[in-house]
């Protein structure tokens, strides 16, 4: 009997999507989740973190996917949080606290079943998880500029500087907490240029790759 797209759920596949700003990675992730009928997590993770910590959701959103200097330093951050739970929360920056809390939430969500998780170093956080598909979505600069202006209302006059800052922030956040390069292809199972293939085709490629990796 031929299996449906929904049958991928039986394999407990978690799809993580890292993305360049303006590449459409968030929209692609939403569509993948809808087509596979599995949960989608992006800002929802920050909302769960706010409820668990008692901290303001607005404050956490302002610090989401941002790294600042901490007492641990870059070489410590990726391993310390998981290897040693005997930390003093008062010694952590709000960014470190949020990374730790969101990482714990990501582990919990992955254990519940298949889902799509956007950003937050989820590919690294779930590196020991048995059933993951790690995706990186990128695009050429003109495609990203157009989407950022049309979809997010960024001023055309400031768009190049804005994209440069976003890339810098995401690269720093990823390297700070994982000691890995954000765009390094060896960290992902699949990289997609959404400016070449478009949003819909990118969605279908991710679904196809998830099925192959799951043996569906």
**Bridge partners for 116 per DSSP:** 15, 40
Evaluate if residue 95 carries a pLDDT over 90.
Answer: no
Kindly state the average pLDDT of the residues 173-199. Answer: 95
- Give the up-direction half-sphere exposure of residue 120: CA atoms within 13 A in the CB hemisphere: 32
> Among the listed ranges 2-6, 8-12, 54-58, which one has the minimum average pLDDT value?
2-6
> Among the listed ranges 56-60, 66-70, 92-96, 208-212, which one has the minimum average pLDDT value?
66-70
DSSP β-ladder status, 14-19 and 40-41: unpaired
> Among the listed ranges 47-61, 141-155, 162-176, 181-195, which one has the minimum average pLDDT value?
47-61
> Can you tell me whether residue 190 is helix, strand or coil?
strand
* C-alpha to C-alpha distance for 67 and 172, rounded to whole angstroms: 7
Evaluate if residue 126 carries a pLDDT over 90.
Answer: yes
> Can you tell me whether residue 2 is helix, strand or coil?
coil
- Binning the chain into helix, strand and coil, the percentages to the nearest 5 are 60, 10, 30
Higher pLDDT, 62 or 143: 143
**Bridge partners for 136 per DSSP:** 18, 191
The reported pLDDT for the residue numbered 195 is 98
Asked if residues 210 and 15 have their Cβ atoms less than 8 Å apart, the reply is: yes
Asked if residues 28 and 194 have their Cβ atoms less than 8 Å apart, the reply is: yes
Evaluate if residue 171 carries a pLDDT over 50.
Answer: yes
The reported pLDDT for the residue numbered 21 is 95
The reported pLDDT for the residue numbered 163 is 95
Evaluate if residue 127 carries a pLDDT over 70.
Answer: yes
Evaluate if residue 138 carries a pLDDT over 80.
Answer: yes
């Amino acid at each position: 009997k031929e299996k449906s797209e929904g049958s991928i759920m039986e394999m407990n596949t978690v799809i993580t999507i890292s993305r360049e700003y303006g590449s459409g990675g968030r929209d692609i992730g939403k569509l993948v989740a809808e087509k596979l009928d599995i949960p989608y997590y992006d800002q929802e993770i920050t909302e769960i973190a706010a409820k668990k910590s008692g901290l303001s959701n607005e404050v956490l959103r302002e610090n989401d996917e941002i790294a600042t200097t901490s007492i641990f330093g870059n070489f410590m951050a990726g391993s310390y949080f998981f290897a040693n739970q005997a930390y003093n929360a008062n010694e952590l920056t709000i960014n470190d606290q949020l990374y730790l809390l969101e990482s714990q939430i990501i582990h919990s969500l992955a254990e519940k079943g298949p889902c799509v998780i956007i950003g937050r170093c989820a590919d690294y956080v779930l590196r020991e998880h048995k059933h993951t598909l790690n995706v990186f979505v990128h695009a050429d600069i003109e495609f990203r500029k157009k989407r950022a202006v049309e979809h997010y209302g960024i001023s055309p006059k400031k768009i190049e500087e804005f994209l440069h800052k976003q890339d810098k922030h995401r690269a720093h956040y990823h390297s700070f907490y994982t000691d890995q390069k954000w765009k390094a292809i060896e960290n992902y199972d699949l990289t997609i240029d959404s400016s070449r293939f478009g949003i819909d085709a990118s969605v279908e490629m991710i679904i196809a790759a998830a099925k192959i990796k799951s043996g569906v």
